[in-house]
Amino acid sequence: MKNKFWKYIAIILAAIAADQLTKGILLYLITGTVPLFGAAWDLVPVPYLMTQVCNFFNIVFTWNPGASFSMLRNLGEVAPLIIIIATGFIIGFIAYYLFARAPKYERAPLALIVGGALGNLIDRVRFGAVVDFLDFHVGGWHWPAFNIADMCIVIGVGWLILNFVLARRRCVRSVESNKNGK
């Protein structure tokens, strides 16, 4: 692998490390240990309110057996396997694109997305569900709980979209200046 890709591997590993470290700390605070594997609900019953940080933010502990924002959680016992397989294919596709074809401006956001997706995939393989713990709310309305991996994915997607918009603007300006210059 070429030297230019080490920084993207570092981004992926940093996202995984931050995600797994925060989840490990929460598991340790609740159970007194950091289990390597086990059925999620056998380890920690949910929901488990840890602490209210302020009027709009709690640290909670909850398992998410579904996809983003608890989608697909109604598939039952087969959901984790379907999500693990689908996530593996998606991560593989994005990683291939990142290291083989992506233009430079797409690489860091894609690395952040891959790192976040791998962080959640690790939970799915270990526990059959993802640890979520950040709970923002307004009154009785709660945004679905999420974690550091989810933040990496959302930030990566937002950054990717911003880069696409900026690249398109540069391209349009370049075309316009070429037309005006002729």
pLDDT in tens, 15-27: 999 999 999 999 9
Q: Give the residues across from 130 on adjacent strands.
A: 64
Task: Tell me, yes or no, if 150 is annotated catalytic.
Answer: yes
Does some domain include residue 63?
yes
Tell me, what's the pLDDT at 162? 96
Express each pLDDT in 98-134 by its tens digit. Answer: 999 999 999 999 999 999 999 999 999 999 889 999 9
Residue 39's domain spans which residues?
12-174
Tokens of 3: 């030297």
Express each pLDDT in 46-66 by its tens digit. Answer: 666 778 899 999 999 888 887
Does some domain include residue 4?
no
Task: Tell me, yes or no, if 42 is annotated catalytic.
Answer: no
Q: Give the residues across from 62 on adjacent strands.
A: 132
Does some domain include residue 134?
yes
Looking at the structure of the chain, the number of domains it has is 1
Does some domain include residue 167?
yes
Does some domain include residue 158?
yes
Q: Which of 19, 123, 132, 135 is catalytic?
A: 132
Name the one residue in this structure whose structure tokens are 């037309």.
179
Q: Which of 19, 123, 135, 150 is catalytic?
A: 150
Does some domain include residue 179?
no
Give the torsion sign (CA, 72, 76, 80, 81): negative
Tell me, what's the pLDDT at 181? 63
Tell me, what's the pLDDT at 25? 93
